[in-house]
Structures are given as C-alpha cells and as structure tokens.
Chains A and B, each alone.
Chain A
Amino acid sequence: MGASGDLERGGGDLSRPRAERSGGPGRTWSRAARWAVPMGPALFLLLAFFAGPILWTVWASLTDAALTGARAARTDFVGVANFERLLTDVRFRDATILTALFLIGSVFGQTVLGLVLALLTRARHGAVRAAVGAIVVGAWVVPEVVAGFVWYAFLEREGTLNAVLGFLGAGEQNWLFTAPLLAVILANVWKGTAFSMMTYSAGLSEVPDDLEEAARVDGASPFQVLWHVVLPLLRRTLATTLLLITLQTVQVFTLIFVMTSGGPGARSTTLPLLMYQEALRMGDLGYGTAIALALLVVAGLFSIVYVRMLGKEERR
C-alpha cells in the first residue's frame, strides 16, 4: 500500500546543492560506499525476500517442483505444462470466476460505501466525524483472523443476523452455507471501507468550494453537483484507490479461510485459497506458483481497466 506524495519532492531539483563532494577517480569507491553501506541491509532484505522469490516464481511455474515424492528430489523443467493444466482445470476456471466476482463485489461495495461516508462526514461537526471515523476505522484495524470470527458469529445459523431477522419474522438459515460468496464479500467490504473512506475524504478536502458553489448558484441539484463537479475532480484519487483496493482484495486469504475455508464444496474457493490447497496441501509447488502468477494477471487486468476507464476521459 502507499502511493503517497510525489516521487520527486525534495529530490529531483537540480538547483539543490549536491550533498556529495566531487572527488578524484580514486574516491569513486568511497563515494559508492557512502550509499552502498547504509543501503546494504535494506537491499539485502529486498533482494533475498522479494526479488529472489519473484524470479523463483517464474522459474518454478515452468517446473514440476514438489514438496514430497520423487519430484521433490529431482525437479524437472516442464515448460508451459503447468499453464496448459491451468487452462483445462475446471477448479481453476471456477476459482478465477469467483475471484472476479469477489473483486467486483468488494471493490464496488467499498468504493460506494467509502464515498458515501466521505461525502456525509464532509460537512459534519468534528465530533460526528471523529465518532463515525473511529467506528469505521476500527473495523479496518481489527486483525483479519478476528474479523473472520466476528463475521462467522454474525452470519452463522445461531448468529446475530438470524436473531435480528427472526425478530422481523424471517426464517433461519446458515448464511455461510447458503450464500458463502456474498458472506465473504460483505465481511471484506466491512473491513476495507475505512481505507477508501480515508482516501476519498482526503481527496474531497482538496475540491475547492467555489466550484461547487458556482454550480449550485447556477441551479444544479446536489446530485448534479456531485456527478458533474465533485466526482470528475476526484478522478485521480478514484483511480489510485481502486487500484490499491484491487491489489488488496485479490490477495484476501485469511478472511475467507476463517469464515468458510473455501466451502461449502468450492463455492468460495478464490485463487489464493486454490493456490494454498494445491501448493501446500497437495505439495505441488510448481502448479501453485502458476496459480499465483494467474492471481497477479487478474490484478493486472483489473488495474488496466481502471486506468483505461478513468484515464480516457481525462484526455478529452
């Protein structure tokens, strides 16, 4: 997470004095040491734990690397066999569809709810803002496992939702069984809305009042002001937030694992859960890694859609 500020602030202007003092060729080493030594630990960690595994991902997805058995001792290069298997695997197809639905539901819910909350709290009294903010952000700060428990208790047959619905005269059902995907989407929206609320609040605070005022004077309804004045000005914030939410949502594992563990059957098995089952339960690392790559592809496709969608109108 964390696309903040501009990349070059305080950095790129050439007018600022160079901190390095220029030296002769003999000092090249000591000059390199000036950044290499302090950056060493960070570089080591990033290379060992990020770059290494990512390169290994690409390689492993082309092999039959396995945890146990004969294939664990000797890993063979199998080319694109893992990807061919992916394309013919029904469970992979279902998981991809479920992931897309989970993404669409979560991103839509978080965006609309976040925007509504940001707009509603915008002109409110400080105390109201703080109270609503604390409650919504509270859901965000709660660890994912606990969020899973809380929603499990809420949606279970014996849970709170059925108690409320029973009070209103509706029949009981185990929502985790009858609507597993909807259940995990709801939980994820509950947990993630705070983030979009905060980014939209920050974005809204930069929308100048006089533009809205001018539109209102010209007789625009509040909804027209929102649609034609405020939202277009939020486009950049919207694009960034959608992107970050998507990257967050596509990798949700714990919440689903705790609430439904992918079930019943495979009706809430999204790609991260399938990846876990294949790679760690079945021990097929090569195939699991191929699924991980597919996960990144799904995230990438959605990102392209947003950039296209929100970038096109800007060019007009």
Chain B
Amino acid sequence: MNRTRRTRRGARMVVSAPSRVAGGLLAHLLLGLLAVLFLTPTLWMVFAAVDSEPSLRAGPPTSLTLDHFTAIMTEEIVYRPLWNSLLTCGGAALITMVCSVLAAYPLSRYNLRFRRPFLYTVLFATGLPITAIMVPVYGMFVQVGLLDSLIATTLFLAASTLPFGIWLTKNFIDGIPIALEEAAWVDGASAWQSLRHLVAPLLAPGLAVVGIFTLVTTWGNFFVPFILLSSPEKMPAAVRVFTFFGQYGSVRYGELAAYSLLYTLPVVALYMAVSRAMGGRFALGGAMKG
C-alpha cells in the first residue's frame, strides 16, 4: 500500500512537472498584469506632478520640473493645512494611545464582571460605519456649540479610532507575561507603578502601532473634518486638497498632482515603516483571521 502510493506520487510528479512550470509562468504573468493594472491609475499623479506640460493623461513628462511644488508651497495652500492635519491627527493619535493603554490594562489584568460585554461592545464599535453617525454628531456639535473647533474635532477623531486602539492594545498586553507584575505586586508595587515600569517598556512597539494606525486612518479621513469644521484656516490637508481640486482641479493638473503627492507620501512612508518594523507580521489586516 505504502509503496504503491509512493510510486503513484512519483509518477505524477514526473508527468506534471512541465505543466507545473507552465502554471507557474502563467501565475507570474497574471500577477504581473494585475500589478500593472493596479499601478496604472497612480501613474498620472507621479508623472503630472513633475511634468512641465501636465494633462490628465498619464505619460512620460515632456520635461522635468519642480515648479508645481514651488507654486503650491504657500502658507494658505500647503503649510497651514498640513499643520492642521498634524495637530488634529497627531493629537488624536496621542489621545488614542494614552486612553487605550489606560483602558486596556484593567481589561487585560483584572477580573472585571463587565469585561466580556464591554469587549463585545468595543468590537461592535470597531465595525460601526462612522459615516452613518456623522449627521447626529453634527447635530450634537451644533447644539453644544462645538462646531468649527479643532479640539472637538481632534477628540472626535480620537473617539472614532479608540475602539480599535483598545482592542489592539488589550491583545498586546495579553501577550505580556503577568509573572513579572505579580512579583512586583508582592513587593508592594501599585498597579500604576507596574504599568509604568514593567508593562509600558514592553508595550512600546505595540503602542507605536496603535499610534501610527490612528495617524494613518485619521490623516486620510475627509468626511469628519469636512462636516465638523467650517472656517478655511482650520481645514486640514484632506479638505484643503479637495477645495483646491474644486477651484483649480480642471486647469492646474500639475499642482493638483503635486499637492496630492505631498499629502499622500507621509502616510505611505509611515505605513511602510511600521510594516517593516513588524517584520511583515503587521499588515493592519493581518490580525483579522476570522
């Protein structure tokens, strides 16, 4: 029995070897085609940004120029919106990190009666479509007079990423052995001391992931600041680049492409840094096996 299987298997491999090579070739061809298809739309942004005669058509630049970048480098178009983005998104990232650790530590370490329902609620909240609650949030902001406030917008952005932050952080803390903390508690350390001196250093990489995740998602968020802010000088880059598109989008392609590139590159760089630091394990979706 054993021998027949072995021979059958050996025979099959001999027979299928050429077809397997062909299959591999086909797979590579298909992958190459898909990669090209995925890349094509973005080519326009890269080419038009440095093309001296930009159009909507992606093509090799007639001659290279950085004029589009210098043209938009004004306080009103780029600097202030980017600064606003940094303030709101950076602030949201910091708030999410701090609140997540503080909330996740008791959830991970204490036997709390409400832990299970609370975690289910958090999990549910991570999937809640934010767009659907924006109208009520807007109504609430109007009533309490928080509309057009950078601080309130920052707080809302933090709240919107907090469920995922708590969830990630709780899983990270679960991965840290409790033995060290128990030893510290026996020696009379408080929960706060053990969190600060034992857990925090081990948690730092995980917390960086939470912070950068928040930064990347909020940086790209257009709808929230678009709804909650109204004065032009408070607009973050996400909204400013859109109004720029509305004003000049159909004429100044090069500048639009340059602005888009400028606004996109920081998040791409941050994402790449994180995924590299995590050795490929971190892919934002990688932890989502059902």
Note all chain A residues with C-beta closer than 8 A to B112: 35
A57 touches B133 (CB 8 A): yes
Check A5 for interface membership: any CB of B closer than 8 A.
yes
Of A1, A141, A146, A190, the most chain B CB neighbours within 10 A belong to: A146
A285 touches B5 (CB 8 A): no
A124 touches B27 (CB 8 A): yes
Note all chain A residues with C-beta closer than 8 A to B3: none
From 234 to 264 in chain B, residues with beta carbon under 8 angstroms from any chain A beta carbon are 238, 241-242, 245, 249, 253, 256-257, 260, 263-264
B260 touches A146 (CB 8 A): yes
A10 touches B43 (CB 8 A): no
Residue of B nearest to A203 (CB): B289
Contact code string A227-254 (vs B, CB < 8 Å = 1, else 0) = 0000000001111110110011011111
A146 touches B241 (CB 8 A): yes
Given A202-B285, A217-B12, CB of A7 within 8 Å of CB of B119: yes
Interface residue count on the B side (C-beta < 8 Å) = 109
Residue of A nearest to B119 (CB): A7
Check B129 for interface membership: any CB of A closer than 8 A.
yes
Residue of A nearest to B106 (CB): A35
B44 touches A153 (CB 8 A): yes
B129 touches A296 (CB 8 A): yes
Note all chain B residues with C-beta closer than 8 A to A195: 284-285
Given A46-B125, A50-B159, A279-B138, CB of A258 within 8 Å of CB of B30: no
Interface residue count on the A side (C-beta < 8 Å) = 107
Majority-rule SS of A interface residues? helix
**Cross-chain pair count, CB within 8 angstroms:** 314
B57 touches A4 (CB 8 A): no
Given A240-B290, A296-B129, CB of A289 within 8 Å of CB of B136: yes
Check B109 for interface membership: any CB of A closer than 8 A.
yes
Note all chain B residues with C-beta closer than 8 A to A280: 135, 138, 227
Q: Measured between alpha carbons, how far is A289 from B107 in the docked complex, in Å? A: 34
A10 touches B105 (CB 8 A): no
Note all chain A residues with C-beta closer than 8 A to B115: 11
Check A315 for interface membership: any CB of B closer than 8 A.
no
Q: Measured between alpha carbons, how far is A55 from B116 in the docked complex, in Å? A: 22
Check A212 for interface membership: any CB of B closer than 8 A.
no
Check B223 for interface membership: any CB of A closer than 8 A.
yes
From 41 to 70 in chain B, residues with beta carbon under 8 angstroms from any chain A beta carbon are 41-45, 48, 55-59
Tell me how far the C-beta of B194 lies from the nearest C-beta in chain A, rounded to whole angstroms: 10
Measured CB to CB, the residues of B under 8 A from A are 5, 8-9, 12, 23, 27-28, 30-31, 34-35, 38-45, 48, 55-59, 95, 98-100, 102-103, 105-112, 115-116, 119-120, 123, 125-140, 142, 155-156, 158-160, 162-164, 166-168, 171, 174-175, 178, 181-182, 185, 191, 216, 219-223, 227, 238, 241-242, 245, 249, 253, 256-257, 260, 263-264, 267-268, 271, 283-290
Told that A43-B103, A56-B136, A145-B263 touch, could you supply 15 new A-B pairs with CB distance under 8 A?
A: A1-B288, A2-B127, A19-B181, A34-B110, A35-B106, A39-B103, A50-B128, A54-B136, A113-B34, A145-B220, A149-B256, A154-B44, A238-B290, A248-B129, A258-B242
Measured CB to CB, the residues of A under 8 A from B are 1-5, 7-12, 16-20, 34-35, 38-43, 45-46, 48-50, 52-54, 56-57, 60, 65, 67, 113, 116-117, 120-121, 124, 128, 131-132, 135-139, 141-146, 149-151, 153-154, 156, 158-160, 163, 190, 193-195, 198-199, 202-203, 206, 216-217, 222, 236-241, 243-244, 247-248, 250-254, 258, 272, 275, 279-280, 285, 288-289, 292-293, 295-296, 299
